[in-house]
Chains A and B, each alone.
Chain A
């Protein structure tokens, strides 16, 4: 069965520090992978996506992610975070005509 696991429910980090939000997936077929950000009481905004091609994907707001097929991972990274990056982040797998979401990671950036 297809699934997405976000390994950290909460990630506290200081401003200007690097951050990595971890995501592992399970799928027996080709995958499309996405990272979304959700600010309080808002819908989801796409950060980046992996469809095919280069395994290093760059997104908005300075985020990037690397698709690793052998480790079935799609970790999200940013070299230097800002207070405004505080939000909930969701990793998602598109398969079988549906999006399957991970449990979410709450990124909290402290001054």
Chain B
């Protein structure tokens, strides 16, 4: 399956700062990537669908101005949490989807964000 990396794996920042999380597909050209958020002891919630070369599609209730997504190439999507606050502390996971055969999604290892 496809290999997905995320950077950083964990980050601690002060309230009010912005944090960029990178999601890279190491061996697969992904026209579509997904960003999920997972709060402690909870399930994954889809935040947005990232499309290469076009604007991301956000799920209801997700602030597009706060969570900026840029899918600049077939192997890189970035999520920027702007003006982060403690309630944004979460585990952020990206995935890419294999669309040809199985629609299987391949998961990145996740990024733990802690906002102080």
Contacts and interface: CB of A to CB of B under 8 A. Distances in A.
Interface of A: 32, 34, 36, 41-46, 49, 51, 90, 94, 97-104
A44 B103 contact: no
Nearest to B38: A38
Given A44-B93, A46-B104, A103 B43 contact: yes
Contacts of A98: 34, 46, 49
B116 interface: no
Interface stretch (B61-69, B74-82, B106-114): B106-114
A44 B107 contact: yes
Given A43-B6, A46-B1, 17 more contacts: A32-B102, A32-B103, A41-B91, A41-B110, A43-B4, A43-B109, A44-B93, A45-B107, A49-B104, A90-B43, A98-B34, A99-B46, A99-B105, A101-B43, A101-B45, A102-B43, A104-B43
Contact of A101 (B1, B44, B91): B44
B110 A43 contact: yes
Contacts of B6: 43
A102 B42 CA distance: 10
Contact of B108 (A43, A99, A102): A43
Q: Which of A46, A99, A101 has the most CB of B within 10 A?
A: A99
Contacts of A100: 46
Closest 8 CB pairs of A and B: A43-B107, A43-B109, A44-B107, A43-B110, A101-B43, A101-B44, A103-B43, A104-B43
Contacts of B45: 101
A42 B43 contact: no
A41 B44 contact: no
B112 to A, nearest CB: 6
Contacts of A103: 42-43
Interface in B18-37: 34
A90 to B, nearest CB: 6
A45 B93 CA distance: 12
Contacts of A94: 103, 105
